[in-house]
Amino acid sequence: MIKRSKVPQSRRAEIMGLFQIHADDLPTLSASALLRFLHKDQMEQAATKETVESLIDRYEIDEAAIESRSMTFEGFLRYMESKDCCLFDQTHTSVYQDMEQPLTSYFISSSHNTYLTGDQLVGKSHLDAYVSALRKGCRCLEIDCWDGPDMEPVVYHGYTLTTKILFKDVVATVAQHAFEVSAYPVILSLENHCCQEQQEVMAHYLISILGDKLLKSPLDHPTTGDLPSPNDLKYKILIKNKKLKSQLKAEDRAEGEESADEGEDGDDEEEEVEEDEEEDEGPQTKAKFWSSRKAGSKKKKKKVKVAQALSDLVIYTRSVKFISFSHSQDSQNSYENTSIAEKKARKLIKASAPDFVQHNQRFLSRIYPAGSRTSSTNYSPQEFWNAGAQIVALNFQSLGLPMDLNDGRFQDNGGCGYVLKPEVLMSRERSFDPSSSQHRLKPTQLLLKVISGSNLPLPKSGKALDPFVRVEIHGIPSDSRCKNTQTVKNNSLSPHWDADMNFSISVPELCLVRFCVRDQTSLFRSEFVGQYTLPFTSLKKGYRWVPLRSRDGCSLDPASLFVLVCYC
């Protein structure tokens, strides 16, 4: 049972109204009446007499009511304010999905430039950033590796003023915290700029510090041509990096081998920088910075092959350059994956989204933010999840809508960092185009009533809020929209909206639903108060309370919303 703070009188009154309707004005709710409430109002059709007995045992404390197998209003109130009546389906707080599918079948919680706690130019690099990401369920971490003094590789954002930390300390931190919140595999995505000698030092640290956690050889079971599953790789750490082409003859390698220091998994980041300059999206100072960075990169860069010792540690996550979907279809192996800058990925979706979806059925794709995002802002991950991209990397240190969506997506399936992609993205029989609005003959109708709020946090000024609620649907473009309640004046404790909303959703299994409370500070301006985001597939029907979170994702308990949910 969850203990919650004192319920405002308005919320008590709303719940009392429900109680009286089903109790027929009697002082207690009989077991049969409670079962009717579960079936009719909470739409829990699987509820049985045993369900009701369990609720009475858990939430009723009045001895006479327990004896008569009924529930008083106070017991009913405790039930309505418990996790059993939370908007988020509590069966989804544990791993419940099939974890035996290949890695390509999952969305994987992923971080970009994980070491940074601030921006990409002068921000601090810190080990705590890795701890924080791992504790949020992140399963793909990025490590930018550069030659350091005294043969000690360092981690920082190259050619900038970001601070440096030791590679060996990063590896030790990962080893300590990798499986605190999830048993499923961690992928270390190396952006490797080191000389061969320091790459050998990196390999030594990976082997000696990670020990048995490090996957050093393919799994010992018959292969079907697919990647292993999350279950196969439990408690294992995988290295994502370039790998030597063993089939090349020794005399050809010097000419044909890929460089180890070509930015994000090869040429991709250099291509991205060129795109940024051509499109001239950022301010002049930003363009100048990236221009100088590129010039410095060309000046300092030496062609360096991947060290054999490091290459040997790359098993199922070999980085290769993306050329085209047809090239991947003909030439890419299941254990090879590509990294694509957000702009290039967006162009691919616009030009051939169904091909991108099919590509992501066979291969892992990593999407990363544009180099012009020097302040560590994020794109919306939803547009790339819509195309089935698995490793959609975000700057975890940057707060706001994109990270709210990421947190909402990955609180599903027990917060383990792996969420099974919906069937619409995995079907080999029927192609899927997220940009199309025609997907189902009969869309799902989501009916919401935003009834009230309680205990909303006051701003620093201490002035009572003028709150309203914005409900947002994030999915394929044709499903994405938002609606607002009216504004309630001067009420933080118990605002009442009683606002009905109707959303027509064609691909609900891809959707996230976000409830955002805002304070109307002037006619055209409002400020963030709290939010909660969850997958549509984790929505519980009926009367539910919505826990609110702060901008940094922390609980604002006892702040909450009270809503009625129905969909068909």
- Determine the pLDDT at residue 268: 40
- What pLDDT, in 10s, does the model give residues 167-207? 999 999 999 999 999 999 999 999 999 999 999 999 999 99
* Catalytic site residue from 39, 92, 126, 157: 157
19-23, 153-157, 256-260: range with lowest mean pLDDT:
256-260
pLDDT classification of 271: cutoffs 50, 70, 90: very low
- Determine the pLDDT at residue 556: 96
Q: DSSP H helical segments within 301-434, as ranges?
A: 308-311, 325-331, 342-362, 382-385, 401-410, 423-426
Kindly report the average pLDDT of the chain as a whole number: 89
Asked if the model's pLDDT at residue 140 lies above 60, the reply is yes
- What pLDDT, in 10s, does the model give residues 492-513? 999 999 999 999 999 999 999 9
- Determine the pLDDT at residue 245: 85
Share of the chain above pLDDT 70, in %: 87
- Other Cβ atoms less than 10 A from the Cβ of 209: the count is 18
- Full-model pTM: 0.90
pLDDT classification of 264: cutoffs 50, 70, 90: low
Q: Backbone phi, then psi, for 53, in 5-degree steps?
A: -60, -40
Average pLDDT for 327-350: 96
For the chain, the distance separating the N- and C-terminal CA atoms, rounded to the nearest angstrom, is 30
* Catalytic site residue from 112, 193, 359, 474: 112
Q: Answer yes or no: are the C-beta atoms of 90 and 82 closer than 8 Å.
A: no
Q: Residues 6 or more apart from 130 whose CB is under 8 A from it?
A: 114, 115, 141, 170, 173, 174, 177
- Determine the pLDDT at residue 257: 46
Q: Residues 6 or more apart from 190 whose CB is under 8 A from it?
A: 143, 145, 202, 239, 240, 241
**Residue 204 annotated among the catalytic residues of the structure:** no
- What pLDDT, in 10s, does the model give residues 389-436? 999 999 999 999 999 999 999 999 999 999 999 999 999 888 999 998
pLDDT classification of 223: cutoffs 50, 70, 90: low
Q: Which residues of 215-224 are buried (b: 16+ CB within 10 A; e: fewer)?
A: beeeeeeeee
- Other Cβ atoms less than 10 A from the Cβ of 247: the count is 6
What count of Cα atoms within 13 Å lies in the side-chain half-sphere of residue 80? Answer: 28
pLDDT classification of 437: cutoffs 50, 70, 90: confident
- What pLDDT, in 10s, does the model give residues 68-107? 999 999 999 999 999 999 999 999 999 999 999 999 999 9
pLDDT classification of 1: cutoffs 50, 70, 90: very low
Helix (H, G, I), strand (E, B) or coil at 485: coil
C-alpha to C-alpha distance for 160 and 117, rounded to whole angstroms: 14
Better-predicted residue by pLDDT, 32 or 7? 32
Closest among 380, 384, 315, 374 to 344, alpha carbons compared: 384
**Residue 157 annotated among the catalytic residues of the structure:** yes
Q: Which neighbouring-strand residues pair with 301?
A: none
Asked if the model's pLDDT at residue 462 lies above 80, the reply is yes
